[in-house]
Amino acid sequence: MTTTDITAAAKRLNLALAALPRAYPGPGGAVAVLRDGEVLARHAWGYANAERRLAFTPRTLFRMCSITKQFTCAAVLDVFPDISTLDGDVAARLPRLAGPVPGAAHLAHNQSGLRDYWAVAMLHGSPAEAPFGDTEAARIIADTRSLQFTPGTRFSYVNQNFRLLSDILEARTGQDFASNLRSRVFDRVGMESAFVAADTRAMPDGTEGYEPMALGGFRAAENNIIWTGDAGLGASLDDMIAWERHIDTTRDDPAAVYSRLSAPVCFADGQVAGYGFGLGRGRVFGRAMTSHGGALRGWRSHRLYIPAERLSVVVMFNHLSPAHLAAMDLVAAVLGETPSGPDPRLPAPPWAGPYIEPETGLSARVEAGAPGQIRLKFGHSAEALDLRADGSAGGEGGARLHLGDDGGLWLDRPGDNASSRLTLLPASGRMDVEGVYACEELGAEVTVVDAGGALYGAFSGRLGQSRMELLEPAGEDVWALPCPRALDHTPPGDWTLAFRRDAAGRAVGVTVGCWLARGLDYARIG
């Protein structure tokens, strides 16, 4: 780069940094930008604890949440270079599972087929702020009887994949997870203050995570989860800078930890996977990138590395603003790129409507969005897909809707290794589905009530009784049960309730699922 280029990039970056507090408002935050191993920005603003007036600094301890997953894999690979040697340990922790059992690599690549345990906890009636610790986790994991898909064939984000790996690491080494991370990762890369922040109720330096209030302002978020290898990392911005420097310093060493974590991963059919060893693989502005986000109620973080540019970005917010978008703003500033947006001139497609995806059994509601966009309600939350000149629509995560040669609407999700023809649902459904339905596999129930001409539903099980939610019609005998709050950082998405009827037309069963926990059958008991 010329001196002029460097000066222009620095100016763009300074403007982007100055814009962050207003573009992503909240109590506080911190960001770092590194290029060629050098720190271009190490910046913090606002408050780590607004009530106690504790400033947010580069040394503030922060919940990195799911960014933990890559560190869990790093520690496991340090002890077990051939991760398949742990396959028997995985099987031993799933004693009731019938059929194929995932291997340790399937866990590390989120290809296990397991249902996410924080999502399953909602089916057990857990309130959003309920305690969820080792006891609850162990019971849900050990009770697993079936999978969502054959291991290795699909991707699905599952937190307990990494809890299982950290538990197995503890058992095999005779050291707790914190000691393993300290000796095998933190000390080696210079993450001096990093630690395992398992208890989400408090941070040792007083840092709080905040969520917005309906009438404005912020309140301290309430969390009661105990976590380990899935999301337990606590670290400062300076700790993460040390990690990013280590990545760049060892970039040309194939035996280095990050080289192993970011090595190509495939599905069983040979298709390249977009996730492996706790890292997402993707592209930004035409360049390959590895990245991961982290979140809990009140906390958002994101880190990425673009090897061709030797560029690292770390973002930490102690509030619910989208950290990944802030990271993209900083990348765009450094590289001099302009994010593309939808073309508002493109007409709305004729294929909006309610569908069901046949493999997962989940509803896929395609609705009008902002000019040049449509909204797809299928996964965690509604996805905005940009309309394209060829009549299709696509999003930043790779999801694509398009008409096939057969005239049907197809949903491609390459990150999940899935492509399927959606089934159009008949118009909205019948109301005569009220009753109590039980899932033998979970030992849990879903109750549907006609309350004055409106259907409401709720879950109950070993973790409690959830509140009643107004059901949303998705099509004939298919309803969505909203989950506006959950144990995890965002709810697992609306639950699809697909009812079954007998020959007489009576509703006798329902299949319940969301993207994180699919295909659970309930039979009517009352």
Residues belonging to the active site:
66, 69
Spatial distance between the Cα atoms of 144 and 117, rounded to a whole number of angstroms: 10
Spatial distance between the Cα atoms of 327 and 31, rounded to a whole number of angstroms: 9
Phi, psi at residue 246, to the nearest 5°?
A: -60, -40
Position 515: which residue type?
A: W
Pairing of strands 218-220, 54-55: unpaired
Spatial distance between the Cα atoms of 478 and 340, rounded to a whole number of angstroms: 36
Q: Are 278 and 72 in contact (CB under 8 A)?
A: yes
How is residue 132 annotated by DSSP? B
Spatial distance between the Cα atoms of 463 and 444, rounded to a whole number of angstroms: 9
| Residue of 490, 381, 386, 508 lying closest to 438 (CA atoms) | 508
Q: Are 234 and 64 in contact (CB under 8 A)?
A: yes
Spatial distance between the Cα atoms of 234 and 137, rounded to a whole number of angstroms: 21
Q: Are 417 and 267 in contact (CB under 8 A)?
A: yes
Q: 313-338 burial, b for 16+ CB within 10 Å, e for fewer?
A: bbbbbbbbbebbebbbbbbbbbbeee
SS3 per-residue string spanning 439-478? ECCCCEEEEEEECCCCEEEEEEECCEECCCEECEEEECCE
